[in-house]
Structure 1
């Protein structure tokens, strides 16, 4: 059955990747994980088979590392939600208010200075190894970035209302996989992807505004308890959704 929570998590993950504070970093991550210089990665011709294989494998392990951290966060949010069930409505209003402010920030209505800062744990492992790439993903997953932080907050608020730890972990797994899947696609088609980035960089502010609108929508859904109402409406309006999932 179609689940608006899972769809929202997937959309938030994709938008997180295409925001101005993540997408521009992709070429450097690809170069770092493949063990290639930027000039080698962007010049014409084929990437050496060994480097291409190393790049794709590293991207997959990096994605799994990031998603692992998000799943643990989802389980923690669900556990906290269950522990403070008697304060559920108050926490929902507080969280919705925070998301609404984040949304206004991305729409450009207000500007919050702290959201322009980025803190990341660094891994000392060699990223061109499988374990190194996974540890790099774990380090990235722990980080707070201007774009992922607000979107992740929205999904964690939804996870807090889940009935089991598995559901909370599953919701954040969807978010993490949706955010990191483009890394794997970029690794598979590194040079075409980098060319696409160069041509479409000017559209990144539009993605930022889309993120703002989505956060405000999440705020309204959480504050009004309308997530299930929207889901039921979608199922009635589009019966094909019944076959999804």
Structure 2
């Protein structure tokens, strides 16, 4: 909780609340209903909590699986490395390591996906740039506005 009030995070709170509620910040205050802010904040926090719990559980499950089958995985990895070394040295020639295979064929649909990704990234990037500009006005250590020494 202490990091919430740190000079790095605290100036982001109004912008975070405005982004969360879909409103704007005027005069250092978010123009939104308290119930809307609280309900969306609780949803946001719940979502992050669920995601990180699932990440922790899956990492624990994968770690347990590696602990159980560690020696088998090491041996299979060693065999693969030896095969790659023999392929690189030219002692054996495995055609499956030389040829190219594509799982998904590229078509016009891909270009449409890249178009929508670029549109989405442009919107996210503009908001990130605004937050960076707001934070660049404050001294990182003391949380005070910077002097214009430039």
TM class by smaller structure: 0.3 to 0.5
- TM-score, with length taken from structure 2: 0.39
TM-score by length of 1: 0.25
Which structure has the larger Rg? 2
Higher relative contact order (CA 8 A, sep 6+): 1
